């Protein structure tokens, strides 16, 4: 009898441990029935052969968005939003304006082809910019068409790409502002030319940063963080939803360019891989998938009742799908913001603290410093006012905070009900694809956002508060997404106020499960004693590109606001094409402490802080199986993720994890940062 009972008791012990390693159910199978009660009315109801078209009512603008905005068969192809040009220095007649354009294009062509054509040196590009600047200051409204013409005539890109990049309603008016206002013969010009093509100018190196008088007070000696209370609460982390309200079931899901799963008569009738109802690896999030993720949260995280609901939720940006720019509009952005935040309100109890992502604007990626002249400094206020109004309407922030967000580029600082100060920042102001950043690159904080952040952190230090910083575009990792000078400044700010004030930072944007570590003294020495603050990069709900869908939950101490456990969940997108009797399955993927703690020699009672993560990177140096594990989780266990088995890959991953700024990330070997193979260089 003992031979039967003892093994059975041992099995029970294992099962108990397994249950203890996750906060809720091991998996959740989504019901096939679409949860129609989420929206009050529909233009087109959901069916097994089509996505729904809900009639979205905007409580801020008090409008209901029309069906043709999102109907897959009637996507608007012309952006009719207002465009903004820099002020002209004089008024010219049409004849004179056209003559100026003709002369300018001839001069630029002469510069380009005088020796070697487009692949010339940096000085040629800057000389061409100088001609463009003259044109942008004299006849700005003519510049977009001139840029399209020049792009097409030189073969710089395809005709359609030239129009998408430089058409007035796309990025043409933005580039006109840049040309008119930037110092094209100085640092600005070198950045612009490098952005146009790395063959024109090499990327500028990090500029020296003068930290004299940067901070109101010196860092207190022997400053310590508050002690842990021993009381843990659950905090949800969602990121990169990228709702595709125009998703077309049965269209081509394996297209060769652009966003797949989009309607066309040919793609729907001749699809080699018909788009499944719930999504695919080269597509953004259809309604069926987005709501499946939200339906699974309560069961998987154990937050299904009032007593165990999330204490709060963070959302690290990107709501809008990856549409071509000519299909984008302010209305489409506002529709998506309204729809997703209403879905969050339906499924997530407690406040949601959100940030603006680079795709949550029109044109995408672009935000303007308030210092730009005239109406240019307020050209994106429509978005900040709309977002802050939605957050206020959902009861997540109060009136004063909403006003702050409306005037601070969507960023705000708020103390939550448990005493944690949450500061959200608009990181488009260090994103390389925000072209307006190339105006006055000698100032790493041209928007004033980081000066505002310093003031908020100083106030938190004076009040003895702990802080979480939340942004979208990460400040470091491989250094390919952000600009070096603003993130170098941010790194100094984190150094000054860590670890006694800043407990954690949180990011999105890459769609992958990653982490960064911030060290003291600008990362000049990286060891366990200099590791100060972790940067948690949240996995995306969208599968784009070649990733599974996922989200994360933290267990957070209410005294120190350190993280003591992190659980990640995912759904296997590869299985969606075979679903029949059920919806997708979301399941527990891993516990951060269980995955890395023992290998790093980390005490079971210590928080998962920067020292923990540095210990993980040290263990990875000798234990390459940890690198393999990290690489698997980076893609949310996607079958599409390439292996990381070479020494070069392992060393690069470790380097990225230790790189909290773009300048540090650029010092790492490049090419191993993403698992979205065979993709590289995507504008997320």
Provide the b/e sequence for 160-183 (b: ≥16 CB within 10 Å): eebbbbbbbbbbbbbbbbbbbbbb
CA 160 to chain centre: 26
What would the pLDDT profile of 472-528 be if each residue is shown by its tens digit?
A: 999 999 999 999 999 999 999 999 999 999 999 999 999 999 999 999 999 999 999
Residues in the chain, overall count = 684
- Backbone φ and ψ of 623, nearest 5°: -115, 90
CA distance 657 to 335: 36
Distances (CA, A) of 397 to 326, 411, 421, 557: 33, 12, 13, 22
- Is 557 one of the annotated binding-site residues? no
- Is 237 one of the annotated binding-site residues? no
What band does 583 get if pLDDT is binned at 50, 70 and 90?
Answer: very high
CA 155 to chain centre: 32
CA angle, residues 218, 224, 226, in degrees to nearest 5: 125
Residue 666 has pLDDT above 50, yes or no: yes
Say whether pTM exceeds 0.85: yes
- Is 437 one of the annotated binding-site residues? no
Let me know: does 321 contact 242? Beta carbons within 8 Å: yes
Termini Cα distance of the chain: 61
Residue 16 has pLDDT above 60, yes or no: no
What band does 116 get if pLDDT is binned at 50, 70 and 90?
Answer: low
DSSP assignment string, 16-42: HHHHHTSSS-SEEEPPSS--GGGSS-E
- Is 183 one of the annotated binding-site residues? no
CA 364 to chain centre: 12
Alpha helices in 167-310 (DSSP H): 173-181, 187-196, 265-269, 287-301
Contacts 24+ apart (CB under 8 A), 94-98: 97/138, 97/139, 97/142, 98/142
What is the pLDDT averaged over residues 256-271? 81
- Is 188 one of the annotated binding-site residues? no
Residue 91 has pLDDT above 60, yes or no: yes
pLDDT at 309: 87
Let me know: does 568 contact 555? Beta carbons within 8 Å: no
CA distance 277 to 298: 23
What band does 118 get if pLDDT is binned at 50, 70 and 90?
Answer: low
Structural domains for the chain:
94-196 (no CATH), 232-666 (3.60.21.10)
CA 641 to chain centre: 20
What band does 663 get if pLDDT is binned at 50, 70 and 90?
Answer: very high
CA distance 283 to 275: 9
- CB-based contacts of 121, cutoff 8 Å, min separation 6: 200
- Is 242 one of the annotated binding-site residues? yes
CA distance 475 to 450: 13
CA distance 495 to 525: 13
- Is 386 one of the annotated binding-site residues? no
What would the pLDDT profile of 362-397 be if each residue is shown by its tens digit?
A: 999 999 999 999 999 999 999 999 999 999 999 999
CB neighbour class for 214 (10 Å; exposed up to 12, middle 13-18, buried from 19): middle
pLDDT at 682: 47
């Amino acid at each position: 009898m003992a031979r039967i009972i003892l093994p059975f008791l041992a099995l029970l012990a294992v099962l108990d441990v397994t249950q203890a390693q996750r906060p809720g159910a091991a998996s959740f199978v989504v019901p096939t029935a679409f949860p129609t009660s989420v929206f009050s009315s529909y233009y087109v109801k959901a069916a097994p052969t089509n996505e729904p078209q809900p009639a979205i009512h905007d409580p801020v603008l008090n409008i209901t968005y029309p069906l043709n905005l999102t109907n897959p068969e009637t996507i608007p192809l012309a952006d009719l939003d207002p465009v903004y040009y820099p002020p002209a220095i004089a008024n010219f007649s049409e004849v004179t304006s056209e003559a100026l354009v003709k002369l300018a294009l001839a001069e630029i062509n002469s510069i380009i082809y005088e020796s070697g054509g487009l692949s010339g040196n940096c000085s040629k590009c800057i000389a061409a910019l100088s001609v463009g600047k003259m044109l942008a200051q004299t006849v700005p409204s003519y510049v977009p068409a001139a840029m399209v013409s020049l792009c097409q005539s030189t073969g710089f890109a395809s005709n359609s790409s030239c129009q998408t990049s430089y058409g007035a309603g796309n990025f043409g008016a933005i580039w006109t502002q840049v040309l008119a206002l930037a110092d094209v013969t100085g640092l600005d010009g070198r950045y612009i030319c490098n952005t146009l093509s790395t063959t024109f100018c090499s990327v500028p190196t990090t500029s020296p940063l003068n930290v004299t008088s940067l901070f109101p007070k010196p860092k207190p000696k022997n400053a310590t963080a508050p002690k842990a209370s021993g009381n843990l609460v659950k905090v949800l982390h969602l990121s990169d939803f990228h709702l595709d309200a125009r998703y077309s079931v049965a269209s081509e899901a394996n297209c060769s360019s652009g966003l797949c799963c989009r309607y066309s008569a040919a793609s729907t009738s001749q699809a080699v891989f018909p788009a499944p109802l719930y999504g695919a690896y080269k597509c953004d999030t259809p309604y069926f998938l987005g709501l499946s993720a939200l339906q699974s949260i309560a069961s998987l995280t154990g937050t299904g009742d009032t007593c165990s609901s999330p204490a709060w939720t963070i959302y690290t940006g990107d709501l809008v799908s990856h549409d071509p720019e000519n299909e984008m509009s302010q209305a489409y952005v506002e529709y998506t913001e309204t729809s997703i935040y209403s879905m969050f309100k339906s499924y997530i109890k407690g406040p949601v603290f959100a940030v603006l992502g680079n795709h949550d604007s029109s044109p995408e990626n672009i935000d303007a410093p308030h210092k730009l002249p005239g109406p240019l400094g307020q050209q994106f206020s429509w978005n900040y006012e709309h977002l802050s109004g939605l957050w206020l309407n959902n009861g997540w922030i109060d009136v004063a905070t909403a006003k702050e967000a409306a005037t601070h580029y969507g960023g705000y600082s708020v103390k939550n009900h448990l005493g944690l100060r949450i500061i959200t920042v608009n990181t488009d102001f260090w994103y390389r694809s925000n072209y307006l950043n190339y105006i006055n690159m000698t100032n790493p904080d041209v928007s004033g956002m980081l000066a505002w952040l310093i003031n908020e952190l100083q106030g938190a230090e004076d009040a003895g508060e702990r802080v979480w910083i939340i942004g979208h575009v990460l400040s470091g990792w491989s250094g390919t997404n952000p600009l070096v000078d603003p993130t170098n400044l941010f790194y100094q700010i984190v150094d000054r106020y860590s670890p006694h004030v800043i407990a954690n930072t949180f990011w999105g944007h890459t769609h992958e499960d990653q982490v960064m570590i911030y060290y003291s003294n600008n990362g000049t020495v990286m060891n366990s004693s200099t590791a100060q603050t972790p940067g948690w990069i949240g996995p995306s709900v969208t599968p784009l590109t070649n990733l599974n869908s996922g989200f994360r939950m933290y267990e957070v101490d209410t005294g120190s606001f350190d993280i003591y456990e992190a659980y990640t969940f995912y759904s296997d997108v590869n299985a969606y094409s075979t679903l029949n009797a059920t919806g997708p399955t979301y399941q527990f993927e891993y516990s951060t402490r269980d995955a890395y703690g023992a290998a790093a020699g980390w005490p079971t009672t210590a928080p998962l802080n920067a020292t923990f993560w540095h210990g993980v990177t040290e263990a990875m140096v000798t234990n390459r199986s940890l690198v393999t594990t990290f690489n698997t989780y980076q893609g949310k266990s996607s079958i599409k993720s390439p292996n990381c088995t070479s020494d070069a890959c392992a060393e690069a991953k470790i380097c990225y994890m230790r790189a909290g700024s773009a300048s540090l990330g650029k010092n790492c070997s490049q090419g191993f940062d993403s698992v979205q193979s065979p993709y590289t260089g995507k504008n997320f």
